Amino acid sequence: MGKVMLEVRNLKTKYVTRFHEDVYAVDGVSFKIEEGKSLGIAGESGCGKSTLALSMMGYYFPPLHYMSGDIIIDGKNISGLDPDEVRKTILGTEIAYIPQAAMNALNPTQKIIRFIEDVVRAHQPKKDKKEIRAMAEQRFAELGLQPGTLDKHAVELSGGMKQRTVIAVSTILNPKVLIADEPSSALDVTSQKMVIKMMRELMEKGYIKSMLFITHELPLLYNVTDDIMVMYAGQIVEKGTAKEMVFDPVHPYSHGLMGSILVPEEGTRGQKLGAIPGAPPNLKKPPNGCRFAERCKYATADCRYTSIPEKPFGDGRMYRCLKGVDELKEVYSGE
Amino acid sequence: MKNTLRQVFHSSKFVAGFVIFVAIILMMIIYPLFNPGNPLEQIGVGTFAKPGTYVSLYDAARTKTDTLRLPDAADNRIAAALTDEDRVAMVEWFTLMGADISDLDTADTDAMIELWHETYDPTARPKGMTNAKINYYKRLNNAIMDLGAADTITIAEYNDEGVLEESKTILDTDYVNTKNVANVKTLPLGTDNFGRDVLKELVSATGTSIRIGLIAGIVATVIGLTFGLLAGYVGGWLDDIIMFITNIFTVIPSFVLLILITYSLGQEQRGAAVVATVIGFTSWTWTARSVRSQVISLRNRDHVNLSKLSGHSLVRIVVMDILPYIASYVVMAFILQVSSGILAEAQLSLLGLGPKTTQVPTLGLMMNWAMLYSAHTNGSWWAYFPVILIITLISFSLNLMNTGLDQVFNPTLRD
Amino acid sequence: MLGMVALFKKAAIAEERNDPKNMKGYRKYFGKKILWFVITFIVAVVLNFILPRLMPADPVAAITGKLAGSGATDAAAVQRIYEHYQEEFGTNKPIYQQFFLFVKNALHGNFGLSFSQYPRPVSDIIGSAIVWTIALQFPAIIVGWLLGNLLGALAAYIRKGFDKVLLPVSLFLSNVPAFGMAVVMLVLFGVYLKIAPISGGYAFDMIPHLSWDFIKSVISHYQLPFWSIVLVSIGGQAVGMRSMSIYELNADYVKYARFLGIKDRKIVGYVFRNAMLPQVTGLALSIGTMIGGALVAEIIFSYPGLGSAMYSAVTAADYPLISATTLIITVMVLVVTFILDIVYGFIDPRVKAAQYE
């Protein structure tokens, strides 16, 4: 087992809406990522996966608020640190973020190199412009980006170029953990491939040591990450290796999610393609029992009232359902 | 629809604007019921009568009196007789005469008069004082002397032979009840330079100005909407031409066009409706621009394409599939047009290019008259301040409503 | 009109082909702007010429008729003026000849003689008025713009209490008509508090000359008109800047920059720069309205600028003066708009990028 790069323990955060209502978007999430590994998080939109990404940065500003839990990066617990300390020593250097809408992630009126200067100097105030430029040019070249990009404004770049630039800028300080929130969802297939290739390269060259990849496209995760977690209504409902999760999902929600997409692999052919009916619960008042019970076709009365803990099984896997693993598999095979 | 309305009325800004606007409209409707008549009727002779209640002296003299012995009546009488200017002049006199005024309170009428008696000398000719000023002090002295001597006023009337005959004596303790006086008139905002009741005029002018704003807004919105829809939906060369015209008229200042057009029309042709229409004709560009850009973003939406495939007519597509989606923008633009129309009328009138003056008052004309007769420099605040306030409030309320709508329909601006 | 549109497109395309790549965006933008400026200018001149002539009556007869009616001048003078203007406007010639005459005269700065101040040339009246207007309005509008943006940005950034007070106040202020603000300022500071003179550009007993006394008089007469224009512009700008800043503060790049550890102070710098840029265009688009309002404010203060010149021209039915002032004001607005557009092109890279699309 490799060195643990990122460990999250029972993390709880909430949103406060403009009507002063609390939305518990991340409700007790725990996981680990080892050095050199990547973890994918899948779920419908609104399940809390993007909030989870923001929450893991350890840097909170309204409307997001930290409640409890630990975020440990390479053995250092960053939750509870002074925000300015987090900003200076953690963000960008220990943990970096690639936002969902990279199209708008760069300041439109600033040259890329000026932004890189600001990023580097936020952590190394003494570094001079020449050094930063040399460093940026080298990294851009290595990642297959033209150094001329540095002297352009964000508005002059195409969508795919913007996204790749954002990835290069995010990782310029060699963070230990990279959190990518749907980095490729808005792109065309070619750009998507380039983005994925770039992220692989970053891992292989050791510029980043671990990665958390968030998406609603499961086939993508299967190709990109080592492990996959499925998130529903602010909680992790199942965790396993990519292969296990795609070909052998246990939780009814994961099962439904796999059924709702086409995976062009053997064994899935002929499987019904159908979205899961219903909508996720209101996270202002999360239900006491299983959060998926309302939409689950296998749910019993007990499911709605019994709080369900994470249940480990198999080789380091976990799921969150009242029913046993075998019981569930039997039901699925009967369909 | 219902839901949208509920959302709109949840916006505090919209509600605040709406309440102010409705209050103004209600005033416009209700006040004439209590005070009917022609708002341009000249009830006063002379300019700028102060706000207040006017009691007919003629009728009061003939009204049955009651006797009231009020302890401070004499003091009030003396205090009212000495204006602030008189008091300043008196202090000036005291200083010239070298009197000790260190403890003097100008509001203390008794002390002032006492000191006056001590220091006034009709023969004194202070150095550098003009004759006019000396005569002024003489008159002031007479007035002050009269104050002390006041006891009764005798009213005499000509009898049948044409000889004056005493008919009535008025004591300083005689009072009339205003309810018994045949003619009492309250002018809450006094009269203007022509002797018109300002409040009545203001209410009528507000109505006219809002109508001018509405006409201007409707004209501008109809033109802007038509152009915007054609340019956006039909596109092609029609779009090029319309945008060409729109861009030009965006840059050429509309008030210059307004001045040229209204001046060319001449005084006789300039009714309120004509001025309003001209204002509308010079302010449609914003509506055209925003409608066009909205329509362009809409015209390739699925529901529009579906309608096209179904062979629906252009008019039907525009009315059923486009208009509902841009309605909020059009309403917002319309609100702004109304408010700027009212302002444009006011500015034109101040330049002397407003509606013909004989028919109706407008807010701009009232402002123009007040300025022509120097209401602002002679202290007649009631002739101009309410006008400014009403224009500001109308425009403020309309803009508040607009901001409220904007926040509902453009959530990114939401707080 | 169609031909002109095609011409404009062709010019734009040709430019795109010929230019070196790096400056292409800018060249195209500026080329477009210059072309628009020229076209708009021509249209403005045509309108200025044609609108008064659309009226049924012969303008010269109408003018001199008014003059004779007012009894301001004796019959001989009216006759002289009538002949002078028939010659000047060439009302007996075909309309296109009249137009070229009009353009030729305007180009030479010859706007004829004023009726109300006969025989003073209109160009002379305008020449002395325009200095006052430019000296009053541009500093006032710029100061109002700067202060408004500053307050708007503060309101957006601080929010809470400051914003709660500032927003309604700014909204209210922005809705006070310019002339209303002028009257209120005049009465408050001029009539009641007596801390500034209320009328004219300098003391009425002075003749313009270069002396300390005269400059002092000019400065003290400058205060009320200046601040009343500033106050009105502040409100509108503050409201606009506030919503632009709030919009920008919620932009994705703010969040991203924060997560890369950049200091909030630096990010606020990005935000305000970006919010400020559209405000430049906003100023370009509203400068016409602002100048219009400020001209009326001039009338209130009898400030010796174009507004007062126009006012006296209207009251005295001084047609040549009206025609010339409106033309000059249009040109002024066009030039300012053009300059602002050009400045904007340089400071906002988005403009350059947009030209490639």
How does pLDDT run across A25-36, given as a tens digit for each residue? 888 888 888 888
Q: Please give the Cα distance from C106 to C320 (Å, whole number).
A: 11
Per the domain annotation, does B158 fall within a domain? no
Alpha carbon distance C136, C227 (integer Å): 10
The average pLDDT across A283-290 equals 81
- Mean pLDDT, range A192-221, rounded to an integer: 84
Q: Is the pLDDT of residue C90 over 70?
A: no
Q: For residues B294 and C162, which has the higher predicted lDDT (pLDDT)?
A: B294
Residue A321: inside a domain, yes or no? yes
Asked if residue B254 and residue B122 are part of one domain, the reply reads no
For residue B238, being part of any structural domain is answered with yes
Please, which pLDDT band fits residue B342 given cuts at 50, 70 and 90?
A: very high
In this complex, do A108 and C273 lie within 8 Å of one another by their Cβ atoms? Answer: no
The angle that helices C319-347 and C306-315 make with each other, rounded to 10 degrees, is 150
B343-355 mean pLDDT: 88
Cα–Cα dist A120/B307, whole Å = 54
- Mean pLDDT over all residues of chain C? 78
pLDDT, tens only, B5-16: 888 888 888 899
Q: Is the CB of C51 less than 8 angstroms away from the CB of B264?
A: yes
- Enumerate the residues of chain C whose CB falls inside 8 A of the CB of residue A59: 258-259
The boundaries of the domain holding residue A23 are 4-94+175-333
What is the distance in angstroms between the Cα of C56 and the nearest Cα belonging to chain B? 9
> Which residue, B149, B166, B185, sits at the end of a domain?
B149
> Measured between alpha carbons, how far is A248 from A255 in angstroms, rounded to an integer?
8
For residue C226, name the pLDDT band (cuts at 50, 70, 90): very high
Q: With respect to residue A298, please indicate whether it lies within any of the assigned structural domains.
A: yes
Residues B346 and B400 in one domain: yes
Residues 229-268 of B with CB under 8 A from C: 237, 240-241, 244-245, 247-248, 250-257, 259-261, 263-266
User: Residue A78: what pLDDT?
Assistant: 83
What is the pLDDT, as a whole number, of residue C16? 38
Chain C contact partners (≥3 CB pairs within 8 A): A, B
- For residue B259, give the nearest of C2, C285, C326 by CB distance: C326
Partners of residue B156 on adjacent β-strands: B166
Asked if B351 lies within 8 A of C311 by C-beta distance, the reply is yes
Segment among A222-226, C73-77, C311-315, C349-353 with least mean pLDDT: C73-77
Distances (CA, A) of A280 to A215, A235, B117: 17, 12, 93
ipTM of the complex: 0.84
Assess whether B130 and B36 both reside in one domain: no
In total, how many domains does chain A have?
A: 1
Are B7 and B136 in the same domain? no
Q: Are C275 and C254 in contact (CB under 8 A)?
A: no
B109 lies in a domain?
yes
Which positions in chain B touch C299 (Cβ < 8 Å)? 350-351, 371
Which domain covers residue B135, as residue numbers? 68-149
Structure tokens at B165: 């005959």
Q: Is residue B131 part of a domain?
A: yes
Instruction: Give the pTM.
Output: 0.78
Strand partners, A312: A318
* pLDDT at C7 > cutoff 50: no
Indicate the range of B128-142, B319-333, C12-26 predicted with least confidence.
C12-26
Q: C92 pLDDT band (50/70/90 cuts)?
A: low
- Does residue B167 fall inside a structural domain? no
Place of tokens 């630990």: A70
Say if CB A255 and CB A244 are below 8 A apart. no
Contacts with C, B 54-73, CB within 8 Å: none
Q: Is A250 inside a domain boundary?
A: yes
State whether B243 and B313 are in the same domain. yes
CA distance A197 to A168: 13
State the CATH number of the domain containing residue A66.
3.40.50.300
Report which of A92, A207, A106, A118 is spatially closest to residue A163, judged by C-alpha positions.
A106
Q: What is the number of other CB atoms lying within 10 angstroms of the CB of residue C40?
A: 21
Neighbours of chain A (3+ CB pairs under 8 A): C
CA distances for C56 relative to C84, C120, C153, angstroms: 21, 29, 53
Alpha helices per DSSP H over B109-267: 109-119, 131-149, 198-229, 236-251, 254-265
- Six-digit token string for B98: 């070298």
Q: Region B331-347: what's the mean pLDDT? A: 90
Q: How far is C43 from chain B (nearest CA, A)?
A: 8
* CATH code: domain of residue B331: 1.10.3720.10
Distance from CA of C352 to the nearest CA of A (A): 8
> Do residues B82 and B142 both lie within one domain?
yes
pLDDT averaged over every residue in chain B: 85
Residue type, C127: G
User: In this model, does residue B54 exceed pLDDT 50?
Assistant: yes
Q: Which of B257, B263, B279 is the best residue to mutate to test the C interface, defined by the most C CB atoms within 10 Å of its own CB?
A: B263
Least confident of A34-43, A140-149, B213-222, C93-102: C93-102
Is residue B289 domain-shared with residue B327, that is, in the same domain? yes
The yes-or-no verdict on residue A274 having pLDDT over 60 is no
Specify the range with the lowest mean pLDDT, choosing from A14-18, A212-216, C10-14: C10-14
B372 lies within 8 A of chain C by CB: no
Q: Which of B149, B176, B201 is the last residue of a domain?
A: B149
Q: Which of A45-49, A87-91, B391-395, C24-28 has the lowest mean pLDDT?
A: C24-28
Give the mean pLDDT of chain A: 82
Q: Do C350 and A155 touch (CB under 8 A)?
A: yes
The pLDDT of A67-84, averaged and rounded, is 84
Query: Confidence band (pLDDT; 50, 70, 90) for B148?
Result: low
Phi, psi of C24 (to 5 degrees): -55, -50
Tell me the helices (H) and strands (E) count for chain B, helix number first: 17, 6
Cα–Cα distance measured from residue B340 to residue C290, given in angstroms and rounded to the nearest whole number? 12
Q: Is C353 on the interface with A (CB under 8 A)?
A: yes
Examine the domain organization and report whether B372 and B323 are in the same domain: yes
- The answer as to whether A123 is a domain residue is no
Q: How many CB atoms lie within 10 A of CB C144?
A: 25
CB < 8 Å to C274, chain A: 107-109
DSSP codes of every residue in B353-398: -SS-TTT---HHHHHHHHHHTTTTTTT-GGGTHHHHHHHHHHHHHH
Would you state the pLDDT for residue C19?
40
pLDDT at A151 over 90: no
Question: Would you say residue B187 lies in a domain?
Answer: no
Residue that the structure tokens 């420099």 belong to: B377
Find where tokens 């104050």 sit: B147
Q: How many domains does chain B have?
A: 2
- Do B200 and B109 lie in a common domain? no
DSSP B338-360: HHHHHHHHHHHHHTT-SS-TTT-
Residues of chain C neighbouring A104 (CB-CB closer than 8 A): 251-253
